[in-house]
C-alpha cells in the first residue's frame, strides 16, 4: 500500500488533471448528494466544527467547502475516500459502497466545466 | 492471500467459501485492496512489519449470519476481530490487534429496532452510529436526546462497550445501556437482563433480570459478540444553560473541585465539565518568556501575571439541564457554594430552550453537549495532523490530584524530551461520575522512528501513572497488554480471572484475541 503522503501527492495532482468523463445523470447526482450529506458533510460542510473544511481552508484550498469546488475529479475523490489523507480516515465498502462512491463523485463534479 | 496465524491456506480457503455461502460473496473481502481498508488509519505502526493487518473481512447483515460466521470460524479455529462502525480512531480503528485475524464487520447491521418516547430508550444494532440515531429521532420528531461520543460516526454499541463517554447527563455510555443480545463463541444467541425472559416487556427498562448480572463481562472484552443493545435516552429538557466560575489563585483549585464534586455527587450538576486555566489560552510573549525560564513559571509568578491582567487562574463552566426554573435555581445554588472562595467571579452563560429550530443544531458550536453529534473533535491538533492516539488515565476528582497529576506528567514529559506546551494536559473532565478523565494526545505520523519513540513514551507514561495509582480507562490496541499489566493487584488476579472466563466461554480462542489484555490459552505464552 502506498503511504498516505504519497497518495496525497498523487491525489492532489489528480484534482487538477480534470479528465472529462461521461456526464452523470440527475438521479446519480441526487443519490450522491444524499450519500455526501450522510458521510461527508459532517466534516466537509459549512458551519462551525467542520474539521475537513477548516483543514482545507488553512492549507489554502479555495473554496474550502467541497460542494463548492469545480476542479475535483472522480479519481481524486475516490482516492481520498479509500485511502484517507492526513487525519481523514479510510472508508470501508460497508460504509461507502463502490456505487455510493461513484455517486459522491458524480455529485462533487457536477459543476465542473464541461 | 494473507492467512490467519495457525491456519493452513487450505482450511482458510474452505472457510472463505463457507462464509461466502453463508452471507454472500459481496460481503466476504479477501483482496488486499479491500482488506487494506480495515487498517488503522491512525496506526502507531505505519510502515513497520509489525502493523497488524487483517487476512480478510466478513460483513454479516443479521444475527443468524453472525452465528453462521462464528460457527465456521470455530470449525477452522480462525480468529475473528469484531468491529461495529470501525471508527474507534485513536484507540485502534477497524484493525485487529492480532495480525491476520479476520475482521467481523458489523456495520451492515444498522437497524434502529425501537425508539420509545414514553420510557425514553432505544434498541439498536451495532452498525447504528450516533448520526444515524440522531437523524432517525429528528425525522420522527421524537422528544428524546441521545448522548453522542465526540465523534458522531461512532457506534452506540461499540462506544459503550469500550466504555466511552459523552457530555450530557447520560454521558457514561456503558452505564446508560439496558439489555444486550450476544452471540457466544459457540454460535449460540443469549439475551441478558430481562431479555432472558421470553416475551419480556421490560428488556430496556430493568437492567438486571435475575441471577448474576453479566453485562459487564461483554465490555472491553472478547467473550461474545453483541448484536443488539438497549440504551436509555434523555427526555428532551426544557432548557440548557451554562455558568462559569473563575477563581484567582493557584491553590483555589482545591475548593473549586471540592465544590464541583459536591454538586455533581448531589445530582445538581450532571454533565461533563472541564477544569481549566484561562492562562493556557493566552498568547503573550511575556507569559511565554515566564514559562520558558529554567524550572518554568512558579504558581506565584503566574498568579501575579494573571492579577495584573485581571485574568483568573482557574475556571470551570457548569452545564445545567432541565426546566428553566430548576436550572436557574441550580445555578443560583452553585454560585452560593463557590462564593466561599475569595475572589470568585461568576458569569451567566446562554440559556438555550428546546426544541431548537430545524437548522440550529448544526450551527451550535458545542452541539455534543445538547445531544447533537458532530465531528468537531477532529479539529484538535494541527490542520496537517495525520492522526492521534490518546493516553487517558483516570484520576481522583480532587484539586490535589489535579495538581499532582499535572506535575508528575509534566516532569515525565520533560524527562522524555516531549513538548509540554500549555495544552499538553487536556482536562481534567467529568465524563464519568466521581472521577476525572485526563487526555494526552499523541500525534501519529508516517515516520517510523517518531512512532517508535512515541510508543516507548506511551508505555513509560502508563507505568508512571500506575506508580501513582492512576490507571487508563481505555487504550489503543497497541497498549492493551501494557495497561492490563498495570492492573496487577495480587499477582494479576483480575487478569487470571478474565483468562479463566475466556477459556470457559471461548475455548478455541476465536473471539478478538488480545482485546484488553485477554488472550486465549494457545496465545498466552507468546504474550507473557
Q: What is the pLDDT of residues B185-208, one digit of tens each?
A: 999 999 999 999 999 999 999 999
Q: Which of B105, B129, B362, B381 to mutate to test the interface with A (most CBs of A within 10 A)?
A: B362
- A31-79: pLDDT as tens digits: 999 999 999 999 999 988 899 999 999 999 999 999 999 999 999 999 9
Q: pTM of the full predicted structure?
A: 0.94
* Contacting residues of B for A35, CB less than 8 Å apart: none
> Taking Cα atoms as reference points, which of B365, B393, B359 lies closest to residue B377?
B365
Whether residues B131 and A54 touch (CB distance < 8 A) is answered with: no
Whether residues A49 and B367 touch (CB distance < 8 A) is answered with: yes
CA distance B440 to B428: 10
Whether residues B375 and A50 touch (CB distance < 8 A) is answered with: yes
- List the single residue in B with minimal CA-CA distance to A45: B362
CA distance A92 to A96: 6
Note the pLDDT of residue B496.
Answer: 97
Note the pLDDT of residue B314.
Answer: 97
> Taking Cα atoms as reference points, which of B146, B151, B189 lies closest to residue B168?
B146
CA distance B128 to B147: 14
DSSP E strands in B287-445: the ranges are 314-322, 345-353, 388-391, 393-396, 426-429, 435-443
Distance from CA of B194 to the nearest CA of A (A): 32
B135 in Cβ contact with B162 (< 8 Å): no
Residues lower than pLDDT 70 in chain B: 361-363, 365, 422-423, 526-528
ipTM above threshold 0.90: yes
Note the pLDDT of residue A21.
Answer: 53
Note the pLDDT of residue A10.
Answer: 40
Note the pLDDT of residue A22.
Answer: 60
Q: How confident is the model at residue A4 (pLDDT cuts 50, 70, 90)?
A: very low
Q: Is the pLDDT of residue A8 over 80?
A: no
Q: How confident is the model at residue A14 (pLDDT cuts 50, 70, 90)?
A: very low
Q: Mind listing the domains of chain A with CATH numbers?
A: 4-17+26-108 (1.10.760.10)
Per-residue 3-state assignment (H helix, E strand, C coil) for B175-189? CCEEEEEEECCCCCE
* Contacting residues of A for B86, CB less than 8 Å apart: 92, 95
Whether residues A95 and B46 touch (CB distance < 8 A) is answered with: no
Tell me if residue B434 falls in helix, strand or coil.
coil
Note the pLDDT of residue B296.
Answer: 82
Q: Which residues of B are catalytic?
A: 91, 473-474
Distance from CA of B132 to the nearest CA of A (A): 9
Chain B CB within 8 Å of residue A49 CB: yes
Distance from CA of A48 to the nearest CA of B (A): 6
Which helix H or strand E contains B16, and what residues bound it?
A: helix B9-23
Distance from CA of B96 to the nearest CA of A (A): 15
Burial string for B92-108 (b: 16+ CB within 10 Å, else e) reads bbbbbbbbbbbbbbbbb
Chain B CB within 8 Å of residue A99 CB: no
> Taking Cα atoms as reference points, which of B366, B133, B130, B156 lies closest to residue B240?
B366
Whether residues B376 and A51 touch (CB distance < 8 A) is answered with: yes
Whether residues B105 and A55 touch (CB distance < 8 A) is answered with: no
* Contacting residues of A for B27, CB less than 8 Å apart: 94
- How many C-beta atoms lie closer than 10 Å to residue A69's C-beta? 18
Which helix H or strand E contains B116, and what residues bound it?
A: strand B112-116
Please return the burial class of B216, using the count of CB atoms within 10 Å of its CB with bins 0-12, 13-18 and 19+. Answer: exposed
Note the pLDDT of residue B361.
Answer: 67
Tell me if residue B478 falls in helix, strand or coil.
helix
For residue B383, give the nearest of A1, A5, A58 by CB distance: A58
Amino acid at each position: 500500500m502506498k503511504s498516505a503522503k504519497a497518495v496525497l501527492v498523487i491525489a492532489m495532482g489528480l484534482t487538477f488533471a480534470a479528465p472529462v468523463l461521461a456526464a452523470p445523470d440527475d438521479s446519480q447526482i441526487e443519490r450522491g448528494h444524499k450519500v455526501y450529506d450522510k458521510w461527508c458533510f459532517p466534516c466537509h460542510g459549512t458551519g462551525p466544527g467542520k474539521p475537513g473544511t477548516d483543514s482545507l481552508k488553512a492549507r489554502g484550498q479555495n473554496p474550502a467547502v467541497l460542494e463548492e469546488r469545480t476542479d475535483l475529479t472522480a479519481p481524486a475523490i475516490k482516492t481520498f475516500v479509500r485511502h484517507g489523507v492526513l487525519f481523514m480516515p479510510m472508508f470501508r465498502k460497508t460504509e461507502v459502497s463502490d456505487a455510493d462512491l461513484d455517486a459522491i463523485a458524480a455529485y462533487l463534479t457536477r459543476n465542473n466545466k464541461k | 492471500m494473507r492467512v490467519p496465524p495457525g491456519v493452513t491456506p487450505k482450511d482458510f480457503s474452505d472457510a472463505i467459501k463457507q462464509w461466502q455461502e453463508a452471507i454472500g460473496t459481496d460481503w466476504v473481502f479477501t483482496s488486499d485492496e479491500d482488506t487494506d481498508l480495515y487498517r488503522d488509519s491512525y496506526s502507531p505502526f505505519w510502515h513497520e512489519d509489525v502493523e497488524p493487518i487483517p487476512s480478510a473481512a466478513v460483513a454479516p447483515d443479521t444475527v443468524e449470519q453472525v452465528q453462521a460466521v462464528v460457527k465456521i470460524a470455530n470449525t477452522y479455529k480462525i480468529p475473528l476481530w469484531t468491529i461495529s462502525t470501525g471508527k474507534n480512531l485513536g484507540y485502534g480503528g477497524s484493525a485487529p490487534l492480532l495480525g491476520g485475524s479476520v475482521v467481523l464487520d458489523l456495520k451492515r447491521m444498522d437497524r434502529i429496532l425501537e425508539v420509545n418516547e414514553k420510557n425514553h430508550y432505544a434498541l439498536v444494532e451495532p452498525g447504528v452510529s450516533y448520526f444515524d440515531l440522531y437523524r432517525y429521532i429528528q425525522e420522527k420528531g421524537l422528544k428524546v436526546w441521545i448522548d453522542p461520543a465526540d465523534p458522531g460516526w461512532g457506534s452506540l454499541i461499540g462506544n459503550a462497550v469500550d466504555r466511552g463517554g459523552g457530555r450530557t447527563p447520560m454521558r457514561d455510555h456503558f452505564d446508560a445501556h439496558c439489555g444486550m443480545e450476544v452471540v457466544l463463541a459457540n454460535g449460540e444467541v443469549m439475551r441478558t437482563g430481562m431479555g432472558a425472559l421470553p416475551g419480556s416487556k421490560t428488556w430496556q427498562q430493568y437492567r438486571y433480570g435475575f441471577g448474576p448480572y453479566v453485562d459487564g463481562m461483554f465490555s472491553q472484552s472478547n467473550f461474545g459478540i453483541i448484536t443488539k443493545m438497549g440504551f436509555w435516552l434523555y427526555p428532551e429538557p426544557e432548557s440548557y444553560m451554562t455558568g462559569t466560575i473563575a477563581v484567582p489563585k493557584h491553590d483555589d483549585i482545591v475548593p473549586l473541585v471540592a465544590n464541583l464534586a459536591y454538586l455533581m455527587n448531589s445530582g445538581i450538576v450532571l454533565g461533563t465539565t472541564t477544569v481549566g486555566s484561562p492562562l493556557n489560552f493566552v498568547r503573550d510573549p511575556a507569559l511565554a518568556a515566564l514559562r520558558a525560564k529554567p524550572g518554568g513559571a512558579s504558581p506565584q509568578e503566574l498568579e501575579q501575571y494573571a492579577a495584573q491582567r485581571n485574568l483568573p487562574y482557574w475556571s470551570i463552566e457548569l452545564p445545567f439541564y432541565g426546566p428553566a426554573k430548576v436550572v436557574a435555581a441550580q445555578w443560583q445554588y452553585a454560585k452560593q457554594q463557590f462564593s466561599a472562595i475569595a475572589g470568585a467571579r461568576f458569569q451567566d452563560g446562554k440559556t438555550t430552550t428546546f426544541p431548537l429550530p430545524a437548522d440550529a443544531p448544526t450551527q451550535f458550536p458545542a452541539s455534543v453537549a445538547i445531544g447533537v453529534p458532530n465531528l468537531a473533535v477532529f479539529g484538535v491538533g494541527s490542520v496537517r495532523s495525520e492522526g492521534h492516539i490518546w493516553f487517558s488515565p483516570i484520576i481522583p476528582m480532587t484539586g490535589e490530584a489535579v495538581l499532582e497529576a499535572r506535575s508528575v506528567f509534566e516532569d515525565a514529559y520533560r524527562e522524555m524530551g516531549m513538548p509540554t506546551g500549555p495544552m499538553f494536559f487536556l482536562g481534567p473532565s467529568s465524563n464519568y461520575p466521581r472521577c476525572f478523565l485526563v487526555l494526552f494526545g499523541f500525534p501519529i505520523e508516517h515516520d517510523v522512528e517518531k512512532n517508535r519513540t512515541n510508543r516507548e513514551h506511551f508505555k513509560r507514561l502508563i507505568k508512571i501513572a500506575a506508580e501513582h495509582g492512576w490507571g487508563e480507562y481505555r487504550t489503543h490496541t497497541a497498549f492493551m497488554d501494557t495497561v492490563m499489566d498495570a492492573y496487577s493487584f495480587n499477582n494479576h488476579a483480575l487478569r487470571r480471572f478474565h483468562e479463566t472466563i475466556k477459556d470457559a466461554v471461548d475455548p478455541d480462542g476465536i473471539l478478538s484475541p488480545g482485546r484488553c489484555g485477554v488472550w486465549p490459552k494457545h496465545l498466552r505464552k507468546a504474550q507473557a
